[in-house]
Amino acid sequence: MLNKHKVGLFFVVAVMIVTLVGCQQQPAATTAAPQVVEVTRIVEGEPQTIVITTTPPAPPPPMVKINVGTQRGMYSALAFVVKEKGYLQEQGIDADWNWFSGSPQLLEAMKGGSVDVGLPCGSAPGQVAAGNGLPVYIIANIVWGNEVIVMRKDLEATVDLKNPETLKGLTIATISKSSMQDYVARLWIEGMGLDPEKDVEFREVGAGAAQRSALLSGDIDIASTFEPHGTTLQNEGIAVIVGLGEEIAPHHDNTGLVVTKDFLANHREQVIGVTKALEKARQFAVDNPDEFYAIVAKYFEVDPSVVKSSFDNRYIVLPDNLQPNEEWYLKVGDWLDKWGYTKAKTADYLPEYISKWKEVQKEAGL
């Protein structure tokens, strides 16, 4: 004869299985409606039915769709991690990723309304845009440095960097005016006591294959580019690295998270979510360097050792946190005012710029 407790257990399990199977056959509920489960047990030889009412957790809120603009530069390293690891989805964000050749082009898309978030966008181009009336804010910094200046290898015999006079008349290629590479190249020339407007010629040539071809043909003498292009050109024997952005302007904000004013006003929660996702990506890169290098290498179709070399040699540096460098933006403002890159003076827009990134970073817990 079966033990009464075992019989009771048999009834409980049997009834629950029947009830659950019956529930699975019902159409999926659209709301978190209470569920009723009847459990029968045997008490002193008599069956007793207990009714248990449970309320399942509410369904997650719908994903919010946003348009993200990004670039295939190593300065986009943390954006690649965010994309690969699904960190935006964790924040309830469904991102449509759009690719751009540079920050000026990305900012034009933001101006036209087709992009809500620049991830990343160059810090100086973003500041130029704000100084020329484009309603954008920089919210976070995601990388230091990354600009690399290379010179044709065959010029080593005639150009002496210790004698700036030998650079006069040379042609310097940058991706575009107001790009980070443009700024760093101008600072490099000024740092040698030369005038970037008079002593050298600046020309716009796209990064990668276009600059490589121009160096090989002799159409340009120097190229201001970004990693891994600098390392690749040097490894191929086409050019030599003669300047690094991280040395020319130590710990300067290369690229960051940029959003439109309207998007921040109407989707503040998503802006905070993107900021949190970036911080998670930064911490992942610190804790898992080899996997981080592999993710970045995937977007350039290079060996992870090339990416590792760029970080090891400090051609590009992960910041200690996502806080923008206020001092850097003040310096950039002085250069913009001097070079006439913006209609507005730095004092007209930068205070609001700074206050917004501090608000969002605080709300993101950073």
* Residue 34: per-residue pLDDT: 67
Res. 3: pLDDT tops 50: no
Instruction: For residues 206-235, give the mean pLDDT.
Output: 91
Position 179 scores a pLDDT of: 80
The total of structural domains in the chain comes to 2
Q: Is 103 found in the same domain as 227?
A: yes
3-class secondary structure, 237: coil
Are residues 46 and 187 both part of a single domain? no
Which of 54, 69, 96 is the last residue in one of the domains? 54
> 10 Å Cβ neighbour count for 236?
12
Q: Are residues 293 and 182 part of one domain?
A: yes
**Antiparallel, parallel or unpaired: β 147-152 and 222-226:** antiparallel
Q: Residues 92, 13: one domain? A: no
Same domain assignment for residues 106 and 171: yes
Domain that holds residue 40: 4-54
pTM, two decimal places: 0.73
Mapping DSSP onto H, E and C, the string for 111-126 reads: HHCCCCEEEEEEHHHH
Same domain, 86 and 48: no
> What pLDDT is attached to residue 73?
80
- Mean pLDDT over residues 56-70, rounded? 84
Most confidently modeled range among 30-34, 130-134, 244-248, 289-293: 289-293
pLDDT on residue 139: 93
User: At which of 32, 54, 76 does a domain end?
Assistant: 54
The token pair that represents 40 in the structure block: 């029968």
pLDDT above 50 (res 19) = no
Same domain, 89 and 136: yes
pLDDT confidence of residue 32: 55
- Asked if pLDDT for residue 12 goes beyond 80, the answer is no
Residue 25: pLDDT band by 50, 70, 90 thresholds? very low
- pLDDT number for residue 176: 80
Q: 118 burial class (0-12, 13-18, 19+ CB within 10 angstroms)?
A: buried
In the numeric block, which tokens belong to residue 227?
């990693």
| Mean per-residue pLDDT, 330-352 | 84
Any idea what DSSP says for residue 131? H
Q: Bigger pLDDT: 219 or 249?
A: 219
Structure confidence at residue 326 (pLDDT): 86
pLDDT at 343 over 50: yes
- 10 and 152 together in one domain: no
- Does 202 score more than 80 pLDDT? yes
Distance CA 199, CA 191 (A): 13
8 A C-beta contact, residue 316 and residue 227: yes
Domain co-membership, 40 together with 72: no
pLDDT band at 233 (very low <50, low <70, confident <90, very high): very high
Task: Say yes or no: 43 and 187 in one domain.
Answer: no
283 with 302, same domain: the answer is yes
Instruction: Indicate if the pLDDT at residue 11 is higher than 50.
Output: no
Residues 83-132 pLDDT 10s: 999 999 999 999 999 999 888 889 999 999 999 999 988 888 888 888 88
pLDDT bracket for residue 224 (50, 70, 90): very high
Residues 6+ apart with CB under 8 A from 351: none
What is the CATH number for 149?
3.40.190.10
pLDDT band per the 50, 70, 90 thresholds, residue 315: confident
**How remote is the C-alpha of 7 from its chain's centroid?**
61
Is the pLDDT assigned to residue 5 strictly greater than 50?
no
Select the highest-mean-pLDDT range: 13-17, 133-137, 178-182, 262-266: 262-266
pLDDT score at 31: 54
Instruction: State the average pLDDT for the chain.
Output: 84
Average pLDDT score over residue span 339-361: 87
Q: Please check the confidence at residue 15 and state whether its pLDDT lies above 80.
A: no
Predicted local confidence at residue 37, as pLDDT: 63
Considering the domain architecture, whether residues 50 and 65 belong to the same structural domain is answered as no
